Structure formats: structure tokens, C-alpha cells
Amino acid sequence: MSSSLGDLLRADLRGRTAYGAPQLDVPFPLNTNENSYAVPQDVVDAIVSSVAEVASGLNRYPDREFLRLREDLAAYLSRTSGVAVTAERIWAGNGSNEVLLHILQAFGGAGRVALGFTPAYSMHPIITGTVGTRWVDGLRGVEGAGAFDLDVTSAVAQVKAHQPNIVFLCSPNNPTGTALGLDVVEAIYDVAPQAIVVVDEAYAEFARAGTPSALTLLEGRERLVVTRTMSKAFALAGGRLGYLAADAELTEALRLVRLPYHLSAPTQAIARAALEHADSLLATVENLKVQRDRIVAELAGMGLGPLPSDANFVLYGGLADEKATWRALLDQGILLRDVGLAHYLRVTAGTPQETEAFLGAMRRLAPTHRQEQSA
């Protein structure tokens, strides 16, 4: 950026770099937690038909309130969670990042504070900064037993100390894959009467059996928000549809900050067609969970310390130099994610072929890639 433009840029944005996971043409892209399975042909046909139906009307603005999409999302959540969710409690955007932006635009801003417990989703602090909200890095556990776990007592103490206006929680957490106990959510909500509490459940469909959803806590908690996405389990990352469930009064407030007609007619049509064929799209979830668990088991057998995961990815450690290992794997056509944690990398669980390629590459790495084991 030229010096003249740099002088005009907001002071709090100067020196920052834009978000961007590497988009490289490699045989095995396992770095962004996409669903490796292509959209099934029956769903492709339904999407094409749905978009064709709205195409002749593209001279008109789309339904600003995306009512039918909200009804479909509410029906999906109600069916899969056992919690009765109505359309008035649903909000959606172009990916869950836009939904998070709307929350911050409405409840953040200059002079306000957002708190998240890192390592967590890297976009939380980035989006927070774009609206001038001050970000506070909350602390998780220390490495060792229960590494990266979020302790209730510690979390509550941090919320009390910083008095945030917005609290971000992830369950399952990204990049660790660990799910969050509802006792943590309840405790934080109770000690932060001034805060919107956001539980990011982008990977909820991949959770192991018995893992609770914060959707069960929504009733009677007007400041609680649960965000979801169709990018991961629905294999619809290119469709860009994220959504949330919350109190109807909160979703009404988000209308104050959204851009007019923010969800295009094709976007609404694609999402509705996908939801109509949810069972077909979600059929790959169990396959991905099998590969995730295989990765955990085999990396553990290699002594590499993978974290148990409720998502479609695995964070693993035990690496002498994570950047050197990342490069060595890339040289074999395997792209992982360096999440900025010393000695750790994150790998997406994909097809059996992708899993075997990754595990085979890990087996072939020289012993120098592993941390020395203490006696």
C-alpha cells in the first residue's frame, strides 16, 4: 500500500495482514476443513432446478427477510436437535462469518470489548477488529493433561475481570476439535449480564454421540446465540450460507446493521434445495467421523499426541518444527494448516484415500520431524 493510502487507512488496521488460508493446487488439500465429498448428483440437480426457477426474476430484489429459508433452517434445527426452533429465531448470512459480523456490528463497536478463549477460531478477533471493538485473548488450559481445555472456574474469572460486551465460545472448538461442556456456557452467561454470549457450533454435526448442543440452552436466555454453517457437514462451502438461532428480539436487532437484500435469490435457492436434501448431503458425515477417529488412533500410535476431536479435523502435536513438517508434507502434495501453535499442525479428515495419503506421508517422515521424548 502506498504511503498516502496508508495514512488514510484506519490507524487500528495499519500493519495488519488480510486473512487467507493458502489456496494451492495440490492433490490433497486438507487445510480448511472442507467436506471432501462432492455434492451428490441428486442435490446438484435440485440446486440447478431451484436456481433456474428464480433466474427469470433476477431483475427484482430477493426476499429481504428470506422467510422461507428461515422456516427451512428452523425445521432442520428442530428435527436434528430436538429443540423447537421457530423462523423468527433464525438469522442467516453469506457464511457464518457474515452472521458473526452482524452480531459485532449490532452489539460491539468503539468502546466495547469482545472476549474469546484462544486458541479458537481465528476469524473471531479479525472480525471484531474490523468494527473497532477491542479484542481480549482469554486463556485456555496449559499443555499437558487437558491441554487447551476451558476450565469453568478460570473462564468465569476471566469474564468477571474483563467485563466483555460479547463472549465467543466454540464447540467443537477450532483448531482443537474439543467440545465444550454446557456448564461452561451456563456459568459464563450467568456472570455476564451485560454480554451477548455466542456459541460457535460450525462443526456440530460431526460431534460424537452424546455431545450436547447449546441449542438446548436457548429458552429463557435472550442474550445467548448459537451459530451454525452449511459449509462443513452440508458440503456447501462454496454456497456461503451461515445462520444462527437466538431470541427473536435479538434477530430483530440484526436487521439494523445488515445490508439491504444481503442474501441473493440464488443463495437462498441453493440453501433451500440443500436443506430439502439434507439426508443425502449429511450421509458423508459418518464416513468423515470414521476417518477422523482413524487419524487420531494412528497418530497416537506414532506418538504424536493428537487431541480427541468432535469436529472433522484433528490437531496433533509432537513435532520438532511444525513449519518444517508442513513444508515436507506439502512436498508430497498434502496441504495441512499451520494454526500458529508451536509443535502442532491441523489436518482435515477427508476420504479414506486422503487419510491414507496423509498417514502414509507421516510414516515416511524422518525421525527428526518429531520432538525428542523426555526420559
Q: Where are the domains of the chain?
A: 24-39+283-369, 41-276
Question: What residue spans of the chain are helical by DSSP H?
Answer: 3-8, 41-55, 67-81, 96-107, 123-130, 152-162, 182-191, 248-254, 265-276, 278-281, 285-301, 322-330, 352-364
Q: Do residues 72 and 275 touch, judged by C-beta distance below 8 A? A: yes
Cell for 51?
A: 436456481
Among 14-23, 78-87, 228-237, 276-285, the range scoring the smallest mean pLDDT is 14-23
In the CATH scheme, what is the code of domain 41-276?
3.40.640.10
Among 14-23, 36-45, 272-281, 294-303, the range scoring the smallest mean pLDDT is 14-23
DSSP string, 214-281: GGGG-TT-TTEEEEEESSSTTS-GGG--EEEEE-HHHHHHHTTTSPTT-S-HHHHHHHHHHHHTHHHH
Span 211-248, pLDDT tens digits: 999 999 999 999 999 999 999 999 999 999 999 999 99
Cell for 133?
A: 471493538
- Above 90 in pLDDT, residue 6? no
Q: Which residues contact 219 (CB under 8 A, 6 or more apart)?
A: 83
Span 93-111, pLDDT tens digits: 999 999 999 999 999 999 9
Residue 214 phi, psi (nearest 5): -70, -10
- Angle, helices 265-276/67-81, rounded to nearest 10 degrees: 30
CA distance 33 to 30: 7
Q: Do residues 162 and 188 touch, judged by C-beta distance below 8 A? A: no
Q: Which residues contact 85 (CB under 8 A, 6 or more apart)?
A: 74, 77, 78, 215, 218, 245
Q: Quick one: fold of 24-39+283-369?
A: Aspartate Aminotransferase, domain 1 (3.90.1150)
Q: Do residues 302 and 326 touch, judged by C-beta distance below 8 A? A: no
> Which pLDDT score, from 0 to 100, does residue 143 have?
46
Q: Do residues 91 and 184 touch, judged by C-beta distance below 8 A? A: no
Instruction: From 341, 235, 229, 358, select the one nearest 287 (Cα to Cα).
Output: 235
Cell for 48?
A: 440447478
